[in-house]
Amino acid sequence: MVIGMCVIKNSLGQSQEMVKSIVKEGDTVIDATAGNGHDTVFLARLVGEGGKVYSFDIQERAIQNTKKKLEEHQLEKRVVLIRDGHQNMDRYAAGNIRAVMFNLGYLPGGDHTIGTRWETTLEAVKKAMDLIMVNGIVSIVIYYGGDSGFEEKEHVMEFLKGIDCRKYTVMKTDFINQINCPPIFVGIEKFK
Ligand SMILES: C[S@@+](CC[C@H](N)C(=O)[O-])C[C@H]1O[C@@H](n2cnc3c(N)ncnc32)[C@H](O)[C@@H]1O
């Protein structure tokens, strides 16, 4: 696994790098999978005091872990924590979103059977693609193999290949010499 000072970042690092390159102070962004709150804290720092992060998770434990982490860094005022599925994100956010981050799979340290599911993931990714502004980004880190299985990855990749190339650019990483199903980073940019 590639970590630390390496130039080529792992998928998590690549997703953060892409998001960081576009998010400005005052922006509104979404963390679609709060989990233990690492991405929510990352986003809250990027949007600054005048910005807003909507952060979703279906598990109370994840919401509490994220809340605690935000309080430790005194970032809680910039974040709306929502215990609901990301497939309902359009009920909370009205549009003009600069970036939406997905980190699929199960809660690290939690119940491995409560992971993201391809049906709701696809619903949420489509909504995220609508909600982002032009030049906004949807970033997705996809875990597969092991406890995550292959089903979600296969459905998501199939959907991504069919996205209208007149409106969105879609890229994915391919770590071609790694073993054990390295997570995949996908970036979707809206240009129209
Ligand atoms: C890999 S974890 C996210 C890690 C997180 N980004 C972090 O920084 O710690 C995936 C999370 O997605 C959550 N999840 C599963 N289905 C969901 C859904 N439909 N809507 C929102 N969150 C969901 C799980 O409860 C889990 O906490």
Cα of 108 from ligand 1 centre, angstroms? 9
Q: What's the mean pLDDT when you consider all of the chain? A: 95
Alpha-carbon distances, residue 104 vs 121, 153, 166 (angstroms): 8, 9, 27
Domain-located, residue 1: no
Please tell me whether the overall predicted TM-score, pTM, comes out greater than 0.85 for this model.
yes
Mutation probe of ligand 1 site: the residue of 36, 40, 41, 57 with most atoms within 8 A of C-beta:
57
Contact 140, 104 (CB under 8 A): yes
**pLDDT by residue (tens digit) across 21-68?**
999 999 999 999 999 999 999 999 999 999 999 999 999 999 999 999
Domain-located, residue 82: yes
Is the model more confident about 149 or about 158?
Answer: 158
Domain-located, residue 6: no
Mutation probe of ligand 1 site: the residue of 64, 116, 153 with most atoms within 8 A of C-beta:
116
**pLDDT by residue (tens digit) across 94-108?**
989 999 999 999 998
In sequence order, the β-bridge partners of residue 54 are 30, 80
Domain-located, residue 4: no
CATH code (residue 90): 3.40.50.150
Domain residues for the domain of 75 are 11-190
Q: How many domains does the chain have?
A: 1
Domain-located, residue 3: no
Given the CA of residue 42, which atom of ligand 1 is nearest to it? Answer: 8
Domain-located, residue 2: no
Q: Is 116 in the pocket of ligand 1 (CB under 6 A)?
A: yes
Q: Is 64 in the pocket of ligand 1 (CB under 6 A)?
A: no
The residue nearest atom 17 of ligand 1, judged by CA position, is 116
Domain-located, residue 22: yes
- Quote the pLDDT of residue 146: 86
